[in-house]
Amino acid sequence: MKEQNFKNHARYVFLYHFITLPLAGALVIASIINLARSSNENLYPALLLVVVSLLLGSIVWYGRAFALRAQDRAIRAEENFRHFILTGKPLDARLRMNQVIALRFASDGEFPALCKTAVEKNFRSADIKKAIQNWRPDHYRA
């Protein structure tokens, strides 16, 4: 596999990010436009189409959001355990989730110090990723 770094670590799933999400959004918008333009005799089917498109849109959105939330919990547990193994102490509770997610790319040698710096200087996730010298790739994420 190709070496990961700050510039190439983002992952997009073509079918989901560039096809499914835009089509779900377009379906919701088109169904609302259809409802606005429908006559009285077509009002019920047009309203049903809006309800179905909103339902489908929420399934697409929340299906991904719930999976990401579960993944975030697993990342926090893994990184908390890694920090405990390296330092004998749990992660600082002031670390925000996006900071912990960014810290997972830090090598073991720089992880504890970068955790401390992230809290003290209130680093954003991009700042943390840019500060990493030895990138620890994550090839297993979805």
pLDDT digit string (tens) for 129-142? 999 999 887 766 55
Q: H/E/C letters for each residue in the chain? A: CCCCCCCCCCCCCHHHHHHHHHHHHHHHHHHHHHHHHCCHHHHHHHHHHHHHHHHHHHHHHHHHHHHHHHHHHHHHHHHHHHHHHHHCCCCCCCCCHHHHHHHCCECCCCHHHHHHHHHHCCCCHHHHHHHCCCECCCCCCC
How large is the average pLDDT for residues 28-49?
96
- Maximal C-alpha separation, the chain: 70
- Res 82: pLDDT: 96
Q: Please check the confidence at residue 38 and state whether its pLDDT lies above 90.
A: yes
For residues 64-81, average pLDDT: 94
Count of other CB atoms within 10 angstroms of residue 73: 11
* 133 contacts 4 by C-beta, under 8 angstroms: no
What's the pLDDT band for 103 if we cut at 50, 70, 90?
very high
Band of the pLDDT at 1, cuts 50, 70, 90?
low
pLDDT of residue 10: 72
What is the mean predicted confidence (pLDDT) over 95-110?
95
pLDDT above 60 (res 85): yes
pLDDT at residue 67 is higher than 70: yes
Q: Which of 36-40, 72-76, 90-94, 138-142 has the lowest average pLDDT?
A: 138-142
